[in-house]
């Protein structure tokens, strides 16, 4: 029996290894390993002896060594393409907060853990990490983030539709259908001059939304009223809304705020403009913020379904990981319109929205 000596100096941080347990129990490392893992063939006495020795020495298996044997780490990198703000700020957005936590939960349910990577980080940041896959949230068009992972041969999931590169998977919302649903809803509630507030950034999603809006306007003989915010954040959106409503001439009779903002603040801005909601202006916000349900009146929101996207995306990723296929896949999920009082016509009979039918929705208590 060779005397596997304690490596390192005399004061080396002694981490108990399998061989240490084996020597303590008077067994071989093979037997101890099998004993602790509940595999192999051995008498109950020996198994218990091994376990007892491990307990006595406080043995904890080295995770890295196991991973090396296993060949995978069950680790998924998570990085967001984000507006080039200070790193990590994306968590302040309810959409990203939900996407992140839902992704983590879904991945963990499949036995994978999420590794939080810095926003817009390059390969040098994750090259040393044993990643089985990666998730890129909200990438730009032809994002280098995506390229890097593809080049590294790491399977990838993103919440924006990408061209089918090998190993890439995506889930996206049906932007066109969402815009039409909202505009149809507003029109049905009597609105004839709906305006849309969009973020200033140019992404695939926002282009799709803009196109869809213009198409809808064309089809309904309505002049488009499109406003872009000066930047990200509540302040910019509120300012854009104030500008829009303060303008001269006949203002819009409905507002669809597609730029992410706190619904209470948007509602407040409308109120300060002297307009009642929904009497003078119907309001719909694209937002995941739960506070929309607690305003007066509650604000109708369009949910972009980050949780559903995460769920579906992890599903695609797991399927690819298990089959080993690098065939690209993708899926479209529907948005969800949470009808609340802010977009349900409360006008008296004779008003343009007199026929507004009862809201079939969720918390739809009409005003």
Partner DNA sequence: TATTGATGCGGGAACGTTCCCGCACAAGCC
Partner DNA sequence: GGCTTGTGCGGGAACGTTCCCGCATCAATA
Question: Does residue 84 belong to the site contacting a second copy (CB under 8 A)?
Answer: no
Compare residues 66 and 220 and give the one whose CB is closer to a second copy.
Answer: 66
- Residue 275 in contact with DNA, rule: CB under 7 A: no
Q: Which one of residues 17, 29, 51, 74 is an interface residue with a second copy (CB under 8 A)?
A: 74
In this structure, is the dihedral angle defined by the CA atoms of residues 78, 83, 84 and 89, taken in order, positive or negative? negative
Q: Which does 272 bind (CB under 5 to 8 A by kind): DNA, a second copy, none?
A: a second copy
Residue choice 23, 36, 100, 208 for contact with a second copy (CB under 8 A): 100
Q: Which does 273 bind (CB under 5 to 8 A by kind): DNA, a second copy, none?
A: none
Residue from 24, 27, 179, 318 in contact with DNA (CB under 7 A): 27
Residue 30 near which of a second copy, DNA, none (CB within 5-8 Å, type-dependent): DNA
Residue 45 binding: pick among a second copy, DNA, none (C-beta 5-8 Å cut-off by kind): DNA
Closest distance of CB 238 from a second copy, Å:
6
Q: Which of 57, 61, 222, 268 binds DNA (CB under 7 A)?
A: 61
> Does residue 68 belong to the site contacting DNA (CB under 7 A)?
yes
Q: Cβ closer to a second copy: 53 or 175?
A: 53
**Is residue 6 part of the contact set for a second copy (CB under 8 A)?**
no
Residue 124: CB minimum distance to a second copy, A:
11
**x/- contact string, 212-241, with a second copy (CB under 8 A)?**
---------------------xxx--x---
SS3 assignment for the chain: CCCCCCCCCCCCCCCCCHHHHHHHHCCCHHHHHHHHHCCCCCCHHHHHHHHHHHHHHCCCCCHHHHHHHHCCCCEEEEEECCCCCCCCHHHHCHHHHHHHHHHHHHHHHCCCEEEECCCCCCHHHHCCCCCCEEEEECCCCCCHHHHHHHHCCCCEEECCCCCCCCCEEEEEECHHHHHHHHHHHHHHCCCCCEEEEECCCCCHHHHHHHHHHHHHHHHCCCCCEEEECCCCCHHHHHHHHHHHHHCCCCCCCEEEECCCCCHHHHHHHHHHCCCCCCCCCEEEEECCCHHHHHCCCCCEEEECCHHHHHHHHHHHHHHHHHHCCCCCEEEEECCEEECCHHHCCCCCCCCCCCCCCCCCCCCCCCC
Among 18, 32, 46, 73, binds a second copy (CB under 8 A): 73
Among 55, 56, 66, 276, binds DNA (CB under 7 A): 66
Q: What is the C-alpha to C-alpha distance for residues 279 and 358, in angstroms, rounded to an integer?
A: 16
Residues contacting DNA: total by CB under 7 A:
33
Identity of the residue, 39 or 323, whose beta carbon is nearer to DNA in the bound complex: 39
Contact at 8 Å (CB) between 140 and 84?
Answer: no
| 230: Cα within 13 Å, side-chain hemisphere | 10
Is residue 273 part of the contact set for a second copy (CB under 8 A)? no
Report residue 205 as tokens.
């999603």
Which residues of the shown chain bind DNA in the complex (CB under 7 A)?
1, 7, 15, 17-19, 26-31, 33-34, 36-37, 39-43, 45-47, 59, 61-62, 65-66, 68-71
Which residues of the shown chain bind a second copy in the complex (CB under 8 A)?
13, 58, 60-68, 73-75, 78, 87-92, 94, 97-98, 100-102, 104-105, 108, 113-118, 125-131, 152-153, 233-235, 238, 262, 264-265, 268, 272, 290-291, 293-296, 324
């Amino acid at each position: 029996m060779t005397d596997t000596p304690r490596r390192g100096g005399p004061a080396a941080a002694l981490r108990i290894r399998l061989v240490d347990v084996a020597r303590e129990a008077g067994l071989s490392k093979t037997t101890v390993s099998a004993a602790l893992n509940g595999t192999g063939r051995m008498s109950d006495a020996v198994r218990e002896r091994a376990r007892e020795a491990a307990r006595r020495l406080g043995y904890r298996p080295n995770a890295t060594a196991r991973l090396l044997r296993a060949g995978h780490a069950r680790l998924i990198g998570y990085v967001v393409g984000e507006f080039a703000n200070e790193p990590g700020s994306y968590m302040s957005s309810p959409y990203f907060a939900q996407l992140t936590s839902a992704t983590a939960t879904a991945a963990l349910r499949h036995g994978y853990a999420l590794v939080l990577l810095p926003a817009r980080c390059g390969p040098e940041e994750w090259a040393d990490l044993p990643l089985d896959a990666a998730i890129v949230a909200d990438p730009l068009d032809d994002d280098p983030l995506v390229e890097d992972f593809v080049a590294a041969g790491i399977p990838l999931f993103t919440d924006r539709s990408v061209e089918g590169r090998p190993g890439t998977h995506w889930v996206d919302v049906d932007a066109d259908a969402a815009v039409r649903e909202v505009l149809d809803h507003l029109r049905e509630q009597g609105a004839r001059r709906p305006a849309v507030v969009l973020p200033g950034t140019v992404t695939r999603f926002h282009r799709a939304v803009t196109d869809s809006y213009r198409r809808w306007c064309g089809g309904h003989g309505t002049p488009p009223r499109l406003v872009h915010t000066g930047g990200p954040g509540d302040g910019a959106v509120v300012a854009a809304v104030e500008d829009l409503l303060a303008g001269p001439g006949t203002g819009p009779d409905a507002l669809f705020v597609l730029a992410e903002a706190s619904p209470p603040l948007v509602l407040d801005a409308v109120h300060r403009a002297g307009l009642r909601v929904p009497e003078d202006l119907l309001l719909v916000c694209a937002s995941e913020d739960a506070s929309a349900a607690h305003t007066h009146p509650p604000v109708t929101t369009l949910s972009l379904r980050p949780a559903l996207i995460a769920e579906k995306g992890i599903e695609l990723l797991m399927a690819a990981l298990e089959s080993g296929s690098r065939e690209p896949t993708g899926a479209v999920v529907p948005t969800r319109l949470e009808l609340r009082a802010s977009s349900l016509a409360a006008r008296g009979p004779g008003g343009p929205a007199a026929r507004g039918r009862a809201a079939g929705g969720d918390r739809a208590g009409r005003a």
